[in-house]
C-alpha cells in the first residue's frame, strides 16, 4: 500500500491517530519538505513517530516518483505531507502515478491552511479562488495573480494568498554545472507580498488600468497558523507592507468589499491600527449584510 498522510499545520502532535498507526507499520516513510514546513524540525518528528524519515525534496518527489513508490506493491510505504495531502497538485500527480503502476493508494487527511484560514473569522464559503504569490527574482516579476484577486473582489469574495517558499532551490549559475549549489531557504512574509501587490497596483494605475483594490483596503496577515505562536493581524494593505509577523509560514488575505457583521466583529480583535472598514467600501455597502 502507498499512503499519503497529512500532518496538519502545527507540530508533530497534529498527526491523526490513524496516520500515526500507519507510519509505524511502514517499511519506508518519506517526508515531503518543499511545499510547506512544520514549526518543529525533522528530528522532533522522528522522535515522536519513532521512525527514521527520508526527507524528500522537490527533485525526489517530482522526478524520483518511481524511487518513492518502489516496493509499494508488497510493503507499506508512506509520504508525509504538511497540511492536507491534496493541498498541492504534486501529491495528486504522485497518487495517479501509483495507480497507473497498479499500486493501491490510501490518503489520510488533516487540517490545511485552506480550512484553518477560518481562524481569522472570515466564513470559508465566501472565499473565491486561492492564489499563489511568487518571489520576484532577477527581473522576473509575474503579476497574473493580481487579476484573480481583483476578480474575487469584484465578485464580493475573499482571496487567500499563499506565499512563496524557497527550500533547496538551485542557484541559476549551478543549473549549468554538474554539481548543484542551492540558495539559502527563503519564506515570503506578508510584508513582502504586500509590497509586491502595491507595486503592481502602482504600475496598473500609471498605465491607466482600473483598480478594484486600493492601498487603504484592509487585508489580513496570518503567521504560523495552527501552532502555539499563531498570529493574526488586520490593517490596510499599505500598512501591512511594514508589518513584521515573525517567522514562517505566512499567508495573506484580501477580504471582499462587504463583510457579514459577524466577520467584521470577529476581525476587530485582530485590528493592527484602525477600525475595520473605515474606508474599505462605500458607505451604502458598509452597513450591508450578506446572506447566512
Question: Which H/E stretch holds residue 144?
Answer: helix 144-154
Is residue 228 marked as binding? Answer: no
Tell whether 167 is in a known binding site. Answer: no
Flag whether 113 is marked binding. yes
**Is position 225 annotated in a ligand binding site?**
yes
Q: Tell me if 61 is assigned to a ligand binding site.
A: no
* Whole-Å CA distances, 77 to 25, 62, 158: 9, 17, 38
- CA-nearest of 76, 136, 66, 146 to 105 is 76
- Dist CA 77 CA 238 (whole Å): 47
Question: Which grid cell is 63?
Answer: 522526478
Note whether 103 and 2 are within 8 A (CB). Answer: yes
Phi–psi pair at 108, nearest 5 degrees: -115, 110
Inter-residue contact 289 to 251 (CB < 8 Å): no
Q: Is residue 249 reached through a cis peptide bond, with omega within 30 degrees of 0 on the bond before it?
A: yes
Cell 518571489 belongs to residue: 135
Residue 158 assigned ligand-binding role: no
Closest Cα partner for 89 from 4, 183, 185, 1?
Answer: 4
Asked if the bond preceding 94 is cis, omega within 30° of 0, the reply is no
Q: Are 260 and 123 in contact (CB under 8 A)?
A: yes
200 is in an annotated binding site: no
User: Is 232 flagged in the annotation as binding?
Assistant: no
- The H or E element spanning position 262 is helix 261-267
As separate numbers, helices (DSSP H) first and strands (DSSP E) second, the chain gives 11, 12
Which residue numbers belong to the known binding site for S-adenosyl-L-methionine?
A: 9, 84, 87, 112-113, 163, 225, 250
Which residue numbers belong to the known binding site?
A: 9, 84, 87, 112-113, 163, 225, 250
Amino acid at each position: 500500500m502507498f499512503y499519503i498522510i497529512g500532518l496538519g499545520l502545527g507540530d508533530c502532535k497534529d498527526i491523526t491517530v490513524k496516520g500515526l498507526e500507519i507510519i509505524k507499520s511502514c517499511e519506508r516513510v518519506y517526508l515531503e519538505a518543499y511545499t510547506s514546513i512544520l514549526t518543529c524540525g525533522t528530528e522532533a518528528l522522528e522522535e515522536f513517530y519513532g521512525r527514521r524519515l527520508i526527507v524528500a525534496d522537490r527533485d525526489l518527489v517530482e522526478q524520483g516518483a518511481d524511487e518513492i513508490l518502489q516496493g509499494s506493491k508488497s510493503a507499506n510505504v508512506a509520504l508525509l505531507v504538511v497540511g492536507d495531502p491534496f493541498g498541492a497538485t504534486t501529491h495528486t500527480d504522485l497518487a495517479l502515478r501509483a495507480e497507473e503502476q497498479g499500486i493501491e493508494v490510501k490518503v489520510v487527511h488533516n487540517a490545511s491552511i485552506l480550512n484553518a484560514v477560518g481562524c481569522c473569522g472570515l466564513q470559508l464559503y465566501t472565499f473565491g479562488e486561492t492564489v499563489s504569490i511568487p518571489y520576484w527574482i532577477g527581473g522576473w516579476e509575474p503579476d497574473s495573480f493580481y487579476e484573480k484577486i481583483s476578480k474575487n473582489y469584484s465578485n464580493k469574495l475573499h482571496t487567500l494568498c499563499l506565499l512563496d517558499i524557497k527550500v533547496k532551490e538551485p542557484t541559476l549559475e549551478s543549473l549549468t554545472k554538474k554539481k548543484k549549489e542551492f540558495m539559502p531557504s527563503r519564506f515570503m512574509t506578508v510584508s513582502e507580498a504586500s509590497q509586491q501587490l502595491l507595486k503592481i497596483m502602482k504600475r496598473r494605475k500609471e498605465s491607466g488600468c482600473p483598480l478594484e483594490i486600493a492601498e487603504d483596503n484592509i487585508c489580513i496577515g496570518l503567521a504560523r497558523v495552527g501552532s502555539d505562536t499563531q498570529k493574526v493581524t488586520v490593517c490596510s494593505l499599505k500598512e501591512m507592507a511594514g508589518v513584521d509577523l515573525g517567522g514562517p509560514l505566512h499567508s495573506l488575505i484580501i477580504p471582499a468589499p462587504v463583510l457579514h457583521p459577524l466577520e467584521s466583529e470577529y476581525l476587530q480583535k485582530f485590528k493592527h491600527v484602525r477600525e475595520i472598514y473605515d474606508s474599505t467600501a462605500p458607505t451604502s455597502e458598509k452597513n450591508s449584510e450578506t446572506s447566512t
